[in-house]
Amino acid sequence: MFKRSMSIRMLGAFVFLILGGSLFCPAQAPAAAEVKPVVVAPANAPAPISAGDTAWMLTSAALVLLMTPGLACFYGGLVRRKNVLGTMMQSMAAMSMVGVLWAVAGYSLAFGPDHGHLIGDLKYFLLGGVDGAPHPVYANTVPHLVFAAYQGMFAIITPALIGGAVAERMKFSSFFWFITIWSLVVYAPLAHWVWGDGGWLARMGALDFAGGTVVHISSGFSALVACLMLGRRRDFPREPIIPHNLPLVVIGGGLLWFGWFGFNAGSASAANGLAANAFMTTQLSAAAAALTWMFHDWIRFGKPTALGTVSGAVAGLVGITPAAGFVTPASAIVIGAVTSLGCANFVHWRTRRGIDDSLDAFGVHGIGGTIGALLTGVFAVRVVNDVFKGGPVGLIDGHAGQVLVQAVGVLATYAYAGLLTFAILSFLKLFGGIRLTQEQEVNGLDQSQHGEEGYSF
């Protein structure tokens, strides 16, 4: 009883600290002159290419690519030993197949000239016309090819996230073809809606700095639809299914945290004050979220868990993704704590309800992305990013309507990603089904799908 009450007092002190800091600390941000909007307005002549900006964007692209092997380790450690290679192979498949598709058509559909505010055309098919010259709209101080490469790393990790919901029971062939189709018909149009020049959500003023809707809500809700269509694992929830390698989970979580600095700070498209703000808000949100989930487990179970702490860090990273370039560091701490608490409670709720989201792809990315997108509408301020050219940005900045705009973006993403995921999986079911047989599931993905073993003793 003493330990429990002590943990409650510790959590209370932590919450008081973050909320008090956000209330009594005024917004501190880089000087407005150092900050530029996420999307640069077209100019008559492109600015000269900046060596510093180019170096930062190349580094950020490499950091974002590292997140997918980090995700493979994170997911691989969470499953049972017989499924470790099969689970990690899903991330490797995304790195290879989506990497090629992005060059063939994905980039052009996402960032090509606008058609009906819904999708780009095939002007950049096979990266034709994407060269070392700057792009006047998307990145006017780095080569167009660098911007395309950087965005391609986002396209890779997004469908890989869906694997967390279907782990241990989906055929590799079905997953492979699913992400192939999904990346073109779901991810690319959503990227155009939010980030493309002329996309309808961008025109409406929806804010998504680095992918809260495009990456996390789209993959998270698609993951929920996929796990419901596949059904539960055969021994869930009758038998406890526990991670086989928690150190691998912690290593994967650390790689995700490390790579996320490129994910968020790189989305400034330059090495400037906005990138610095995104870097700091990313760090603070992740740290606050890890502490929040740790205290949550400490109170609920009597002990702080490693799995809860690293899950909290990932939840905080998801929550700050849409907001990183719009909010102050103080607000980032609140966003991280609130997102972590929301995800933790949802994960426990879905377990009691018997929803087999195996590795909580929706519980962390779908729920975390939703909370982060809505809180972006609350905490975004023009002193950090004057995205509306002198007008107020978020609720605390005097623009209450931004929360509604964010909600429209969230709901639109739910609807589009969910319906298309259902349609793709229904189509794939016609060609031999999408789920392992009972024998294959008992033997595990490694043997049944790849003829290999993760560990040999």
Q: Is the pLDDT of residue 318 over 50?
A: yes
pLDDT given at position 2: 40
Q: Is residue 76 part of a domain?
A: yes
Predicted pLDDT at 238:
81
Question: Do 85 and 163 touch, CB atoms closer than 8 A?
Answer: no
Beta carbons of 206 and 213 less than 8 angstroms apart: yes
Q: Is residue 18, in this structure, part of any structural domain at all? A: no
Average pLDDT over residues 294-300: 96
pLDDT band at 46 (very low <50, low <70, confident <90, very high): low
pLDDT value at position 47?
63
Q: Give the model's pLDDT for residue 236.
A: 87
For the entire predicted model, the pTM comes to 0.90
Give per-residue burial for 273-299: e unless 16+ CB within 10 Å, then b.
bbbbbbbbbbbbbbbbbbbbbbbbbbb
Q: What is the pLDDT of residue 15?
A: 45
Q: What's residue 39's pLDDT? A: 45
**What is the average pLDDT across 80-109?**
98
Residue 135 has phi, psi (to 5 degrees) of: -95, 125
Sign of the alpha-carbon dihedral angle for 84, 87, 89, 95: negative
Q: What is the mean pLDDT of residues 194-218?
A: 97
Q: Of residues 23 and 256, which shows the higher confidence score?
A: 256
**For residue 303, what are the domain limits?**
51-450
Judge whether residue 26 has pLDDT over 50: no
Residue 27 resides in a domain: no
Q: In this structure, which long-range contacts are made by residues 350-357, counting pairs with CB atoms below 8 Å and at least 24 apart in sequence?
A: 351/237, 354/232, 354/236, 354/237, 355/227, 355/228, 356/227, 356/231, 356/232, 356/233, 356/236, 356/237, 357/164, 357/165, 357/223, 357/224, 357/227
Q: Specify the pLDDT at position 321.
A: 98
Q: Which residue has the higher pLDDT, 453 or 16?
A: 453
Average pLDDT over all residues of the chain: 91
pLDDT of 139 reads 86
Residue whose C-alpha is closest to residue 152's, from 102, 94, 100: 102
- Judged against a pLDDT cut of 70, whether residue 358 lies above it is answered with yes
Cα separation, 383 vs 184, in Å, equals 36
pLDDT at residue 24, as a whole number: 37
Is residue 190 included in any domain, yes or no?
A: yes
Position 157 scores a pLDDT of 98
Give the CATH number of the domain where residue 243 resides.
1.10.3430.10
Inter-residue contact 87 to 168 (CB < 8 Å): yes
45 — pLDDT class (breaks 50, 70, 90): low
On whether residue 427 sits in a domain, the answer given is yes
d(CA 76, CA 87): 6
Please check whether residue 42 lies inside any domain of the structure: no
Contact yes or no for 161/67 (Cβ under 8 A)? no
Q: Which residue has the higher pLDDT, 79 or 139?
A: 79
* Cα 416 from chain centre: 17
pLDDT band for 165, please (50, 70, 90 cuts): very high
Ordered DSSP codes for 45-81: SPPPPPHHHHHHHHHHHHHHHHHHHHHHHHHHHHS-G
pLDDT band at 3 (very low <50, low <70, confident <90, very high): very low
Percent of residues, the chain, with pLDDT higher than 90: 86
What pLDDT is recorded for position 191? 98
Q: Find the mean pLDDT for residues 119-126.
A: 97
What single DSSP character describes residue 457?
-
pLDDT at 150: 98
pLDDT digit string, tens, across residues 416-456: 999 999 999 999 999 989 999 999 999 999 999 999 999 98
Confidence tier at 337 by pLDDT (50, 70, 90): very high
Q: What per-residue confidence (pLDDT) applies to 20?
A: 46
Band (22; pLDDT cuts 50, 70, 90): very low
The verdict on residue 57 lying in a domain is: yes
User: Which of 22-26, 273-277, 345-349 shows the lowest per-residue confidence on average (mean pLDDT)?
Assistant: 22-26
In a domain, 25, yes or no: no
Tell me the pairing of strands 119-120 and 114-115. antiparallel
pLDDT band at 85 (very low <50, low <70, confident <90, very high): very high
Q: What is the average per-residue pLDDT within 220-238? A: 94
Query: Computed over its alpha carbons, how large is the radius of gyration of the chain?
Result: 21
E strand intervals along 164-301: none
How many independent structural domains does the chain possess? Answer: 1
Chain-centre distance for alpha carbon 413: 13
